[in-house]
């Protein structure tokens, strides 16, 4: 029995609810749930409110998780529950809470009400309390969607009939509004919390990137990084290497959001550790491929361009791992694509990588980017393309790397218009001054 010791009146409204009674019920229900948007408290108040309408020895009200509505599986089937007259038990040991068993589970799955005069004869019944002999359960619906169920149980057979069913259906229909409002409030709070967490994660991720371009004698360096989501899968970095060399990397993780950001953070940590070891670029690429394949498969792979620059000579040693080919662009018509090296990282077990060399001549600019730059597109599908990027670099070679980078971003934004960038946008320019 619940804390109320009086015998429940299972026939409080014979012949169904009158119009006057229904109006009074709505007023009473409104007063009961007023002042709270908490889902658990709302459900508790609803159980208190239903007792004068249809008495019970035990009762439960259950609300499904939003993910269940969308067809997604998650560990918790039930978002909210309130009970009277039941022993407390862990959710994982409760057939209803864990996998929707019993008469209540049937109601939730089918959206159909059930009156069980003798639960001992109903194969759908799952024992929740030893003294229950009859049960009534109705769905809680919003439009065509079943969002939960309300069930009442009695210690005597035949306690519930058609009058109780009509009354309980009306109550559930009225209660659905309060339940839906509480669920929307919970979803809003969860969304706000998630957004706050993503903002913090974005700040943390931003600290993993250079806080500014390095100063290199004889060169002008610029970098622009624009994530399309709070968390991004693009990455770029610079490394000071022995002998005055400069290391540079631009990488792009397949996918978006949190999974891509996690792989990016893993890639960064592995790369920095191997760069610090002094290993050659081809060796670094091979090791990264093996480690990413072991740790990140099958969720994503990484394309990247690794390079070492000798500033005094302009000699560039590089490995392109399936990345968008960087461009060597001169003020004249000279240009070169740096495409050789090996396949993407994290996919092929026996992939091999080779380092190649090029020379960054005075007056030339090394353009490194991710596909979010070259594939920025107009609403009609036309892409910005490498040709326009080369033209901007060539025409702006005398204005400095930062001005050229800004012009590329301006044109890319003009292309995408109000839709914005669909992918992360990362651009790095290393321009060797003509007089050096």
383 and 270: one domain?
yes
Q: 9 in a domain, yes or no?
A: no
Which structure tokens are listed for 151? 């069930």
Q: 1 in a domain, yes or no?
A: no
Mean pLDDT of 213-231: 87
Instruction: Find out whether 233 and 261 touch, Cβ atoms under 8 Å.
Output: yes
Distances (CA, A) of 184 to 38, 67, 79, 248: 10, 13, 12, 47
Instruction: Find out whether 396 and 358 touch, Cβ atoms under 8 Å.
Output: no
Instruction: Find out whether 365 and 404 touch, Cβ atoms under 8 Å.
Output: yes
Please give the pLDDT value at position 121: 95
Whole-angstrom distance, CA of residue 393 vs CA of residue 395: 6
Beta-ladder partners of 240? 246
Is pLDDT above 50 for 203? yes
234 and 353: one domain?
yes
Helices (H), 1-125: 19-33, 39-50, 66-69, 95-99, 102-110
Q: How many CB atoms lie within 10 A of CB 34?
A: 9
Q: 25 in a domain, yes or no?
A: yes
pLDDT: is 282 or 415 the higher one?
A: 282
Mean pLDDT estimate for the chain = 83
255 and 330: one domain?
yes
pLDDT band at 352 (very low <50, low <70, confident <90, very high): very high
- Secondary structure (DSSP) of 349-389: TT-----EEEE--TT-EEEEE-HHHHT-B-TTS-B-HHHHH
Is pLDDT above 60 for 389? yes
Whole-angstrom distance, CA of residue 340 vs CA of residue 352: 12
Is pLDDT above 80 for 24? no
Q: 384 in a domain, yes or no?
A: yes
309 and 242: one domain?
yes
Q: 197 in a domain, yes or no?
A: no
Range of 11-20, 42-51, 202-211, 237-246 with top mean pLDDT: 237-246
Domain-terminating residue out of 161, 191, 221: 191
Q: At a CB cut-off of 8 Å and minimum separation 6, what does 290 contact? A: 349
Going 148 to 153 to 158 to 162, the CA torsion angle's sign is negative
Is pLDDT above 50 for 4? no
Q: 270 in a domain, yes or no?
A: yes
pTM, two decimal places = 0.60
Whichever domain contains 240, its CATH number is 3.60.40.10
Percent of the residues in the chain that have a pLDDT greater than 90, as a whole number: 35
Mean pLDDT of 30-40: 76
Please give the pLDDT value at position 367: 94
Domain-terminating residue out of 191, 224, 248: 191
Please give the pLDDT value at position 72: 43
Beta-ladder partners of 428? 223, 368
Domain-terminating residue out of 166, 191, 216: 191
What residues make up the domain containing 284? 208-432
166 and 60: one domain?
yes
Whichever domain contains 153, its CATH number is 3.30.450.40
Longest dimension (CA), the chain: 99
Where does 229-334 show beta strands of DSSP type E?
234-240, 246-253, 302-310, 315-321, 327-329
Whole-angstrom distance, CA of residue 400 vs CA of residue 433: 9
Which structure tokens are listed for 166? 């009509």
287 and 138: one domain?
no
411 and 280: one domain?
yes
Mean pLDDT of 315-334: 90
Q: Give the chain's domain count.
A: 2
Mean pLDDT of 170-191: 83
Mean pLDDT of 248-263: 83
Is pLDDT above 60 for 382? yes
Is pLDDT above 50 for 11? no
229 and 372: one domain?
yes
Whole-angstrom distance, CA of residue 50 vs CA of residue 43: 11
Please give the pLDDT value at position 6: 44
Q: 5 in a domain, yes or no?
A: no
254 and 183: one domain?
no
153 and 107: one domain?
yes
Instruction: Find out whether 107 and 113 touch, Cβ atoms under 8 Å.
Output: yes
Is pLDDT above 80 for 381? no
Instruction: Find out whether 233 and 426 touch, Cβ atoms under 8 Å.
Output: no
Q: 124 in a domain, yes or no?
A: yes
Q: Is 279 exposed, middle or buried (0-12, 13-18, 19+ CB in 10 A)?
A: middle
239 and 186: one domain?
no
Is pLDDT above 80 for 321? yes
258 and 394: one domain?
yes
């Amino acid at each position: 029995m619940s804390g109320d010791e009086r015998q429940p009146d299972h026939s409080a409204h014979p012949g169904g609810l009158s119009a006057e009674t229904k109006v009074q019920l709505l007023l009473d229900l409104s007063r009961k749930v007023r002042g709270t948007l908490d889902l658990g408290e709302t459900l508790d108040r609803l159980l208190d409110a239903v007792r004068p309408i249809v008495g019970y020895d035990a009762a439960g009200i259950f609300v499904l998780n939003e993910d269940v509505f969308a067809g997604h599986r998650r560990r918790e089937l039930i978002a909210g529950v309130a009970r009277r007259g039941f022993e407390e038990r862990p959710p994982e040991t409760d057939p209803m809470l864990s996998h929707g068993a019993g008469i209540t589970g049937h109601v939730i799955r089918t959206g159909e009400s059930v009156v069980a005069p003798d639960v001992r004869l109903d194969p759908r019944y799952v024992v929740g309390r030893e003294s229950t002999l009859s049960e009534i359960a109705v769905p809680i619906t919003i439009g065509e969607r079943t969002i939960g169920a309300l069930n009442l149980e009695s210690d005597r057979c035949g306690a519930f009939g058609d009058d109780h069913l009509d009354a309980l259906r009306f109550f559930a229909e009225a209660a659905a509004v309060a339940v839906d409002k509480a669920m929307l409030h919970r979803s809003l709070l969860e969304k706000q919390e998630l957004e706050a967490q993503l903002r913090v994660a974005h700040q943390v991720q931003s600290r993993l990137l250079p806080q500014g371009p390095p100063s290199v004698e004889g060169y002008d360096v610029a970098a622009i990084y624009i994530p399309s989501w709070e968390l991004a899968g693009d990455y770029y970095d610079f490394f000071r290497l022995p002998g005055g060399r400069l290391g540079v990397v631009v990488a792009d993780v397949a996918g978006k959001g949190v999974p891509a950001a996690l792989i990016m953070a893993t890639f960064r940590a592995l790369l920095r550790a191997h760069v610090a070891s002094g290993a050659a670029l081809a060796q670094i690429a091979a090791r990264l491929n093996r480690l990413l394949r072991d740790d990140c498969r099958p969720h994503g792979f990484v394309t990247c361009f690794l390079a070492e620059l000798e500033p005094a000579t302009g000699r560039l040693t590089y490995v392109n791992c399936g990345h968008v080919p960087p461009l060597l662009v001169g003020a004249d018509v000279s240009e070169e694509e740096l495409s050789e090296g090996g396949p993407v990282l994290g996919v092929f077990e026996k992939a091999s990588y080779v380092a190649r060399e090029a020379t960054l001549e005075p007056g030339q600019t090394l353009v490194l980017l991710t596909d979010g730059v070259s594939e920025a597109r107009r609403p009609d599908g036309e892409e910005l393309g490498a040709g326009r990027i080369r033209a901007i670099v060539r025409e702006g070679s005398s204005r400095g790397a930062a001005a050229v980078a800004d012009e590329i971003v301006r044109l890319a934004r003009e292309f995408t218009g109000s839709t914005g960038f669909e992918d992360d946008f990362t651009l790095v320019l290393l321009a060797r001054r003509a007089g050096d």
